[in-house]
C-alpha cells in the first residue's frame, strides 16, 4: 500500500469496533471442516469490469489452495452492494465477496442497505487498489490540471464531469476536486463507465475521474489524455503523469480498493486461512503481472490493518458526504 494508505490503516486501529469478527455462526461447520463444499466468490458488478478481474485473479488459484472449487458469481447492482447482501445473509459461510470501496465505504453513507456493513460482514484480506485518473478527451484544450482549473474558475458550472453513476468513486472524486479547488463542476452520472467514456471522447462532457483500468486502453490508444492520477504516488502504468498533489491539488486521493469480506462470525481460523492463502497467491509473479495490467497496486496488509483501513475509509467518506451534503436518488 502507499504511504498514505498505510498511515490510515495503522492510525485507525484504535477505532475498530469490538464486535467485528467475533462469535460463531449458528449451525455452521467447525473451522477445521471448512470448506465442506464449493465456495462462491461474489462480485457486485458485471463480468469484464475491474472488480470481476480482481475476483478472477484470486479465484483461479484460491480453489486449489483451499481444496475445493471457487466459483465467481456476478450480482451487479446498487453500488456493488447486492453481492455483499448475499454474503451477509448466507447461512453456511461458503460465500465470500470481492468487496470494493464503493460498496463498503461509500454506499453505506448514501443508501439504506438491507444488511449492516459493520456487523454482518467482516474484512478479511486486502487485495489491491486501482487509482482513479483525471482524464480529458485527447482533443480537449487542457494539457495540465492548472489549465483546466483556471478555465473552470472563469465559467463556474460550465464544465461537465462524467461518472459511472451517483455514489461511484468518480462522483466522489469530483466532489473532492471541487472542494479542494473551490471550483464548480456539473456532475453527469451514466449507467456505467463505458457510455460515460464514449461521451467524454465525443466531447459531450469535458472530464472524468474514472479508474485506471477503464481509461488506460483509451489513453494508450490516443483517445484520452491523462492530466493526473488521484493516488498518493505515481502509477507505474503512467509514470509520466503527475499525482494531483504534484499538480497543485491537495487532499484529493481516490482509488477503487478491493478486498475479500466474509460473513461476520466465521471462526477466526477460517478467516486467517483465507487471508494467508490469498496473500500467498497474490505474491506469485503471474498474479502480480496480471494485477499490473489494469494498474492495480498490491501491498499486503494484516487482517487487523485491513479492518482498520475499512474503518478509516468509512469515516473519511462519511465526513465528506456530510460536508458536501451529497445525496443520491
Looking at residue 299, what is its pLDDT?
A: 87
Task: Report in angstroms the alpha-carbon separations of 36 from 87, 96, 280.
Answer: 17, 14, 22
* Dist CA 266 CA 22 (whole Å): 8
What is the DSSP track for 182-239? ----EEEE-SSHHHHHHHHHHTSS-EE--BHHHHHHHHHTTSEEEEEESSSS--TTST
Task: List, for residues 96-108, the tens digit of each pLDDT value.
Answer: 999 999 999 999 9
Looking at residue 46, what is its pLDDT?
A: 86
Looking at residue 191, what is its pLDDT?
A: 87
For residue 328, the SS3 value is coil
Task: Report in angstroms the alpha-carbon separations of 99 from 26, 38, 133, 262, 298.
Answer: 24, 19, 21, 9, 15
7-26 burial, b at 16+ Cβ within 10 Å, e below that, comes to ebbeebeeeeeeeebeeebe
* Dist CA 60 CA 62 (whole Å): 6
* Dist CA 209 CA 229 (whole Å): 9
Looking at residue 14, what is its pLDDT?
A: 45
In which residue ranges of the chain is pLDDT below 50? 13-30
Nearest C-alpha neighbor of 42 from the set 90, 110, 113: 90
Is the pTM higher than 0.85? The answer reads: yes
Handedness of CA 111, 116, 121, 124 (dihedral sign): positive
Amino acid at each position: 500500500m502507499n504511504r498514505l494508505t498505510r498511515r490510515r490503516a495503522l492510525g485507525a486501529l484504535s477505532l475498530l469496533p469490538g464486535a467485528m469478527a467475533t462469535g460463531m455462526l449458528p449451525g455452521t461447520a467447525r473451522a477445521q471442516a471448512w470448506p465442506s463444499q464449493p465456495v462462491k466468490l461474489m462480485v457486485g458488478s458485471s463480468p469484464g469490469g475491474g472488480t470481476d478481474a480482481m475476483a478472477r485473479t484470486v479465484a483461479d488459484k484460491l480453489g486449489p489452495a483451499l481444496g475445493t472449487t471457487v466459483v465467481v458469481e456476478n450480482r451487479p447492482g446498487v453500488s456493488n452492494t447486492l453481492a455483499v447482501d448475499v454474503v451477509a445473509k448466507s447461512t453456511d459461510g461458503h460465500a465470500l465477496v470481492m468487496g470494493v470501496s464503493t460498496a463498503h465505504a461509500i454506499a453505506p453513507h448514501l443508501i439504506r442497505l438491507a444488511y449492516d456493513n459493520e456487523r454482518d460482514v467482516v474484512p478479511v484480506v486486502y487485495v489491491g487498489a486501482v487509482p482513479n485518473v483525471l482524464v480529458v478527451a485527447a482533443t480537449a484544450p487542457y494539457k495540465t490540471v492548472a489549465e483546466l482549473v483556471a478555465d473552470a474558475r472563469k465559467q463556474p458550472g460550465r464544465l461537465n464531469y462524467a461518472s459511472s453513476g451517483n455514489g461511484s468513486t468518480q462522483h466522489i472524486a469530483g466532489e473532492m476536486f471541487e472542494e479542494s479547488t473551490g471550483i464548480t463542476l456539473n456532475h453527469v452520472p451514466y449507467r456505467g463507465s463505458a457510455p460515460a467514456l464514449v461521451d467524454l471522447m465525443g466531447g459531450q462532457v469535458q472530464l472524468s475521474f474514472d479508474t485506471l483500468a477503464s481509461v488506460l486502453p483509451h489513453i494508450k490508444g490516443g483517445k484520452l489524455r491523462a492530466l493526473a492520477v488521484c493516488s498518493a504516488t505515481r502509477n507505474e502504468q503512467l509514470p509520466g503523469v503527475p499525482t494531483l498533489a504534484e499538480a497543485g491539488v491537495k487532499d484529493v486521493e481516490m482509488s477503487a480498493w478491493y478486498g475479500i469480506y466474509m460473513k461476520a462470525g466465521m471462526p477466526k481460523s477460517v478467516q486467517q486461512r483465507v487471508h494467508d492463502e490469498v496473500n500467498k497467491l497474490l505474491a506469485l509473479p503471474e498474479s502480480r503481472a496480471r494485477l499490473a495490467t489494469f494498474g492495480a497496486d498490491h501491498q499486503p496488509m494484516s487482517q487487523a490493518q485491513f479492518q482498520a483501513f475499512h474503518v478509516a475509509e468509512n469515516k473519511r467518506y462519511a465526513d465528506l458526504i456530510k460536508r458536501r451534503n451529497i445525496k443520491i436518488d
